[in-house]
Structure 1
Amino acid sequence: MYSLDINFLKDRLPTEINSERTVRPPMQLGNLMPVYLGIGVGLCLPALVFCGLWFLQMETGKLEQKIGKLDQENKELDGKIANINKIKGETKGIQVQTQALVTVFDRIRPWSAMLQDLRDRIPKNVQIDNIKQIAPVIQAQTTPGQPPSNPAGGIEINGFARSFRDVNDFVLSLGQSKFINASESKISTAELIDAPPETGAIQPDNQSNESGVKIKPTQVVKYTIKAGLSTTPASELIRELEQKGTIGLVTRLRSIQKTGVIAK
């Protein structure tokens, strides 16, 4: 058998070998500066964000601590305010009770002082048989055109006088008293009667005298005077009360004045 031997190298045309190599231009570092800057900025931004978050977390923690502390102080202040309001309420209650007590003292009209004042003002020819206190009339509503009732009440004086003029003088004298309301002092009744034994008058018997003329019995005026008590506070009548010998009430009123509850 025959073998086929083919030499392809001999038939190939010789090729020209390019002895010249491609020369690459040298890399210039100056052209990479934007890249470096971009990388640097890219690395700095996460770092800045991380630092910002870390700072915010620290500040948030501090603020939460302050808020907690303020909440605690607020609770303490609420407790103190509640105690202060409680004390204020108790103080107000004490003030109301004190004012009520002062009002009671201020409305006291000691009978000893009033009777002494009457004894000083009664005319010579007037005799008092009895004195009766008139309680004040408490009205729920005042009728239009009708004056309100006197909250201090009044007194009723019954007795005898030598004449009607003496009764009028007694009423005028009562009107000058600090314990009496002059506008509410008036003669309720006055009539001429035979003098009763309590006046001290001695009536003649029914027999005639030597000349045969009957002697008329001694006559007096029986009167009733109604007077309203003054509504002036007792703290404004200290001088009059002291002059009439009411030392106990005067001492209490002056002690109250020293506390400042009532004015001097």
Structure 2
Amino acid sequence: MYSLDINFLKDRPDYHQQTQGKAAPKKSVQMEGMTPLILGVVVGLLLPGAVGGFWLYLQQQNAQLTQQIADVDAQLGALKAQEAEIGKLNTEIKNVRTETTALATVFNQIKPWSAILQDVRERTPAGVQIKTIQQTETLPTPAPSAAPSPAASPAATAAPADPNASLPTINLEIAGTARSFDDVNYFLLTLQQSPFVQNEGTELVSAQLVANPTKLEVPKEDTQKQSAAKITYELPKVVDYKIKTTLNNVPASELLREIDRKGAVGLVTRIRTLEQITQEQNSKTGNPAQAKPQTQPSTQPQKTKE
């Protein structure tokens, strides 16, 4: 069942020499075959290490970028808060300017009656008396609106309207008596030179000789003495006149010196204060060219407390 194989060749010395001579080249061949494998293992280990190192670098850079983004977001939040505050301040400045312009417009539309009457009084000659001064208003007639042509540009159709077009015209009628026609003519000429009225709109409506309305009272003693002589007193006739004039469109801000000279100090102080406020606002905003408030002229006088 079993066979026993005995190999006596291994006991021979020449056999050991042959086997020993062939073993050395076989080992060198095996080492040369392992070099690519070793290189592959080294490369295989270096590549994941490089990838891992690059991944760690990217993670560090991402963390830094995230921190920078957070810092920028915080700065943006602070800038937005400052922008909101600046917008609020600009709105307040705009409101203050609007109120200042509105006040300047109101004050600029005022022509105090005290200054107008003082000017008339100073221009009245010695031989002229004023009985009444009547004020009348003439409302402006609305201009017919023409239909815009198709070829007209929007800028031409949207032309700004005259601010004086919607304001009433103030007319004055001065009535009284004078000693002569020369006094009436002199009074008319001096009124035409007034800075408060229109030169062309000041004209003489009527002038005629009438009986002197002045009452003459004689003491009783003189009356009893002169009753026997029958002496009568007759006063000279006077000229009854009417002069019509129209207030001009010059704004009060351009008549400050004349209004101040006539004694209307209150209005002058208000307008100069508004001009100073406007100059300070323009200097703060870097626009010093606008020295006076932009106001709309008016011809309507109003009574002011001086």
1:45 equivalenced with 2:8 (yes/no)? no
Residue 246 of structure 1 aligns with which residue?
264
Aligned-residue offset at 1:130:
1.4
**What's the secondary structure of 1:66's corresponding residue?**
helix
Residue 158 of structure 1 aligns with which residue?
174
Which of residues 218, 232, 235 in structure 1 aligns to 2:250? 232
Aligned-residue offset at 1:117:
0.8
Task: Tell me if structure 1 keeps the 8 A contact 2:207–2:241.
Answer: yes
Residue 223 of structure 1 aligns with which residue?
242
Task: Tell me if structure 1 keeps the 8 A contact 2:138–2:171.
Answer: no
Structure 2 gaps, min length 5: 146-161, 217-233, 280-290, 294-306
Deviations 1:143-181 (A, max 9, x none): 47xx96583742312314556665554443223212223
Task: Tell me if structure 2 keeps the 8 A contact 1:130–1:158.
Answer: yes
Query: 1:49/1:253 Cα in 2 relative to 1: closer, same or farther (>3 Å)?
Result: same
How does 1:192-207 map onto structure 2 within 5 Å?
A: 192=208, 194-195=210-211, 197=213, 200=214
What is the aligned residue count?
233
1:23 equivalenced with 2:52 (yes/no)? no
Deviations 1:212-249 (A, max 9, x none): xxx9x93634324031x233332322221222122333
Q: Tell me the amino acid that sits aligned with residue 96 of structure 1.
A: T
RMSD over aligned Cα atoms: 3.9
Task: Tell me if structure 1 keeps the 8 A contact 2:210–2:237.
Answer: yes
Q: Tell me the amino acid that sits aligned with residue 48 of structure 1.
A: A
Query: 1:125/1:91 Cα in 2 relative to 1: closer, same or farther (>3 Å)?
Result: same
**What's the secondary structure of 2:249's corresponding residue?**
coil
Residue 212 of structure 1 aligns with which residue?
none
Which of residues 185, 192, 202 in structure 2 aligns to 1:185? 202
How does 1:1-264 map onto structure 2 within 5 Å?
A: 19=15, 20-21=18-19, 23-24=22-23, 25=25, 26-27=27-28, 34-135=36-137, 137=139, 141-143=142-144, 149=165, 151=167, 153-160=169-176, 162=178, 167-187=184-204, 189-192=205-208, 194-195=210-211, 197=213, 200=214, 218=237, 220-227=239-246, 229-261=247-279, 263=292
Q: If the length of structure 2 is used for normalisation, what is the TM-score?
A: 0.61
Query: 1:253/1:172 Cα in 2 relative to 1: closer, same or farther (>3 Å)?
Result: same
Which range moves more in the overlay, 123-132 or 172-181? 123-132
Q: If the length of structure 1 is used for normalisation, what is the TM-score?
A: 0.69
Q: Tell me the amino acid that sits aligned with residue 184 of structure 1.
A: G
Instruction: Report sequence identity in percent.
Output: 33
Which range moves more in the overlay, 80-89 or 47-56? 80-89
Query: 1:160/1:243 Cα in 2 relative to 1: closer, same or farther (>3 Å)?
Result: same
1: CA distance, partners of 2:241 / 2:184 = 9
Task: Tell me if structure 2 keeps the 8 A contact 1:136–1:151.
Answer: no
Higher relative CO (Cα under 8 Å, sequence separation at least 6) belongs to 2
1: CA distance, partners of 2:83 / 2:182 = 70
**What's the secondary structure of 2:131's corresponding residue?**
strand
**What's the secondary structure of 1:182's corresponding residue?**
coil
**What's the secondary structure of 2:50's corresponding residue?**
helix
Task: Tell me if structure 2 keeps the 8 A contact 1:135–1:154.
Answer: yes
Structure 1 gaps, min length 5: 1-7, 10-14, 203-214
Deviations 1:10-62 (A, max 9, x none): xxxxx9x9944371425176776554443332222111111111111122122
Task: State the structure with more CA Rg.
Answer: 1
Deviations 1:105-134 (A, max 9, x none): 222212111111111223445432211233
Query: 1:121/1:152 Cα in 2 relative to 1: closer, same or farther (>3 Å)?
Result: farther
1: CA distance, partners of 2:126 / 2:168 = 29
Q: Tell me the amino acid that sits aligned with residue 156 of structure 1.
A: L
Runs ≥4 residues deviating over 4 A: 28-35, 147-150, 161-169
